[in-house]
Chain A
Amino acid sequence: MPSLETNFSWLDWGIVACYLLGTVAVGLYVNRFIRNMSDYVVAGRAVRTWLAVATMTGSELGLVTVMFAAQKGFTGGFSAFHIAVVAGVVPLVVGFTGFIVVPLRRLGVMTIPQYYGIRFGQGVRVYGGILLAAAGILNMGMFLKAGAIFVTALTGLNEPVHVNIVMTVLILLVLIYTTLGGMVSVIITDYIQFVVLSFGLLLACAIAVGQLGWGTIVGAVQEVHGEAGFNPAHEGGFGVSYMAWMLLTAGLVSSTIWQTAVMRASSVESEAVVRSLYKWSSVGFLIRFLLPQFLGICALTYFMGHPEARALFLATDGGVVNNPELTMSAFPHFLGQILPVGIIGIVGAGMLAAFMSTHDSYLLCWASVIVEDVVAPLRGGKMSTRSRLLLARVLIVLIGIFLLVWSLWYPLGQDLLDYMMISGAIYFTGALALLVLGIYWKGASRVGAYMALTAGGLAVLGLTPVQELIGFERLENWLGMELSTAHVGLFVTALALMLMVLGSLLFPDKGLPAEEREVAS
């Protein structure tokens, strides 16, 4: 970790402590409202439009999102804004068309594998549930490290051991909080987080532009990235295949296929609210990328004018250094230097709340999937509410322990956003095929579903350490081209869709599963 100065003071530590204690108190308070699994997982399906918008945005505008988006702005310049555009436009289209989410809400499912069960039978539900939970837990494997890098860089805790200590403290806080309240407390803290983080980020942007000036920011991007810093299709930067990958992942998958977004859609009180939720949340989906990306660009501009930092973050050829963990820390270092005492505490507390909020949403989500879609179906649905809640809470603790171990052990090796998208692809490439074809094509069959889900596992080939382990370079040399994360992800997506169609045509279902007959009737 670079040793750079920060304005973070004891007053800011006090603000952060009060804020975190306050959120834990909220978790304890709302615990008394939890009576069954529906209250725990989807807040009794009683959430209205404005609160749903706040929580959807609050949950998705997490610290991790802010970190990976800022990193993309830092390493890619203004071109990174194309990710924000697709992230905003796709949910808007979903809001008008109801694509995928409205049929899911109509069926009243709490999780996506639950839909698999209705459409393709219980076997697909259990298999899909296992894959979803595995990919989801892997996907959040770097959350803890990102959170700890943020805290240490912002506060000036520069010793390497500090990152590990902060990770341990953070996961303990999250576990206590999440096991207490379930979805009701998640929704309320998401709301608080939405308020603090929205205004905090807007203020940070205003201060950054005020200090640096728009012309200087544009000039810095021009100097470091050249044309590729503005034109996203430029092959020296992101390129067309990466843009297509982002359209699929940051656009379609994040808003309709990803389990946490579907859980939000399931929590609202009607189909009309689902549509409103997506229309309004499209602004939040766009902003959750745009503001941090902009602050990442500002960090680049700021550090270019500081010789010590410039030497850390820029390579000798004038480009950004190829060190993902280092470039991830640029944004919090920047905040630590430009924000004044007091404000930095509020923004830091908001970011930490964002971290807790994202963690509790995800922990709750994956634990619920394991309970509802794997364990309960395997036990023939014979589980009491009390047993389900207890198991969900035990699983949350176990997942938390895994996350701590994974964060300490796994070498990132690529930008955080790329890690998250490709690890998520293990699940969503198959899920995309099952949801789109399952909902909109009557011919989709159980065998096709198994084949598509299995194909998704190939997405692990997009992880840098896996590529190094299997000697991925040989394949690239043989093909005569460099294969990026985007190439692997797009290939696996296409493969899953093709196998779904092929499997369905070759092995059509003889009759509808009993559950589907029930739904149809």
Chain B
Amino acid sequence: MDEATPNTYDIAIIGGGGAGLTAAIYAARARRRTVVFERLITGGQIATTELVENYPGFPQGINGFDFAQNLVQQAERFGAEMRYEDVARIERLSNGTFRVETNEGGYRAHAVVATAGADYNKLGVAGEDEFVGRGVSYCATCDAAFFQNQEVIVVGGGDAAFDEALFTTRYASKVHLVHRRADFRASALLQERVFAKAKIDIVRNTVVARILGTEAVEAAELRNVETGATQTLATAAVFIFIGQTPNSHLLKDLIALDDGGHAQVDLRMHTTVPGLFVAGDLRTQAARQLVSACGGGATAALAAEAYLAEAGIGEG
């Protein structure tokens, strides 16, 4: 870590999902020295989505991973720099610049766009951690094919759970869709498709209480939340899609968060800290859609550019 001559950027973007990569395209096209820090996979949540069907302009849909790769290429083409590093800390210095500390070094930036998104929630039940990679999965797109002609469980009631339940029917002999409530948040179209699939068995008002097995997942104990009745269901896999928690730990000392841990921003994605912008699933009241994340990233980058211009930083 070289503190004397840190790498200085005009705009540092934290997180390489749809919001961050779109912000990078806009920031780089404004001729700002732009960096994107990504700790894992570019694309974020969309990278493991088999088919994105609701992004405007792709009538046949597009594979989420390919879409993300396209965004990276587009951002790099205009000069944005990708750094596969995990940001540990963001600090605003007394001179108004930001210090971004990663697992590999320290950087300076005149403005920060935080688009760190959200991570999937775990069930938090016995057997879950033990059987990750041996039947417990958070990515049906990656793992469904290993359960050819076997029965599997998909947990959740939102778009992700419904999408993945439909995907797993390509391989599984039976898909038990387990949801803790009677109603579902998934879009009406996805609900129609799921309800029309003979292979999908809907289990309402029910939670997974335990995941059982020896070498790998063999069964799950289900509990009806209304009656308290439990049953053990033989299954080879438990795919878990029960919502997400925003990655706001980096921001909690800098700005106010809402009850769900999302960052408060104005309509230009500006936080209460001058020069700090937040977009995508990390911000409050996000629609949590790829298109709105990308739109928010563009808004944040334009606002960051305006902020730098007003502060007289660089020639833009």
Whether A and B are associated in the same complex: the answer reads no
